[in-house]
Amino acid sequence: MPPVIEFTAPPLPHYILSGSSYMPSGGKHTNRKNIGVFDLLVVVYGCLYVGEGDREYEIKEGHALILRPDNHHYGVTGCTEDTLHHWLHFQILGDWNVIEEEIYQQRQWSCLESQAPGGVSLPAFSTTPYTVQLPQFTQLAQPQKMIDTISELTEMNQHIHLASVRFKQQALFQDVIMLLSASLRAEGPSPQSACAEQAAAYLREHYREPFSAKKLGENTNFHPVYIARCMQKVFGCSPSAYLIRLRIEHAKELLLQTDLPIERIAEEVGFNHAAYFTACFTRIEGLSPRKFRQWFSWNRG
């Protein structure tokens, strides 16, 4: 069974950098030793075959692996299919150690058995350290939420020269830690998470189509009201708002990678009216599509 990474906080883990990597069939993970930072790998689709020390892992869709900063990791074999994964480098500035999962489970049972009926009181006016456990290898309880969070962190790297953005990244990165920690405790996705993930997957595949709560419900076999409640809990927004976010993300790619006019881009990502597209884009990104394209073209030049 894969081990558990345990650390003491404060201080909290520190986000460094993130990105995504596409590997065609036959592509192989990098061979590296003692890189000095933790490397989180989250597979979107396909499968990565990665080894660390004497352990080998198959990181399938919706799974995550944390590579340690003090170990040797390498590609076991090439991908057997096209594979996309997100990577995220972070550092734990305080104490941390690795424990085998069997020992972790025994400790959890011991804590439950020894817990006082009235709870535990902490000393006032003092900082009380606590421990956090992360699974080194896991099937994520909320894979799409993890993917969305890392994607948002990566997108923010374009403004990393701003102190306010770096501060926001550190706060958002704690959601990644929470999602990993929750996956260690979860026996499987909750019904709400499963519903939200299934609805999000449908919207990602059909983001160009007009939104229909009824059609979404029919294709996921959940009542539209239940879907909305689940997506609000898991993603913090309604299905229609999630769809707009998806369209804006695709629009940003087209703005930066093509010379298509704004009106055509709006149509390509599913907006019927360019004015509504511009209003949604400006509200979410803080600047218009035209200024977004100009700003990044100028900075790249």
**List of domains in the chain:** 4-106+130-184 (2.60.120.280), 191-300 (1.10.10.60)
Task: Please name the helix (run of DSSP H) or strand (run of DSSP E) that holds residue 210, with its range, or none.
Answer: none
On the question of a cis peptide bond just before residue 289, with omega within 30 degrees of 0, the verdict is no
Q: What share of the chain is helix, strand, coil (3-state, %, to 5)?
A: 45, 25, 30
Determine if the pTM surpasses 0.85: no
Q: Would the CA dihedral through 275, 276, 281, 286 be positive or negative?
A: positive
Query: Distance between CA atoms of 140 and 179, rounded to whole angstroms?
Result: 8
Work out the number of other CB atoms within 10 angstroms of the CB of residue 125.
Answer: 4
SS3 state at 29: coil
pLDDT, position 112 = 43
Query: Distance between CA atoms of 35 and 38, rounded to whole angstroms?
Result: 8
Per-residue pLDDT of the chain (301 residues; tens, 9 = 90+): 678 999 998 899 999 999 999 898 899 999 999 899 999 999 998 999 999 999 999 999 889 999 999 999 999 999 999 899 999 999 999 899 998 866 766 665 555 444 555 555 666 666 778 889 999 999 998 898 999 999 999 989 888 888 988 999 999 999 999 999 988 876 566 788 889 989 999 999 999 999 999 999 999 999 999 999 999 988 889 999 999 999 998 998 899 889 999 999 999 999 999 999 999 999 988 889 999 888 876 655 4
pLDDT, position 203 = 94
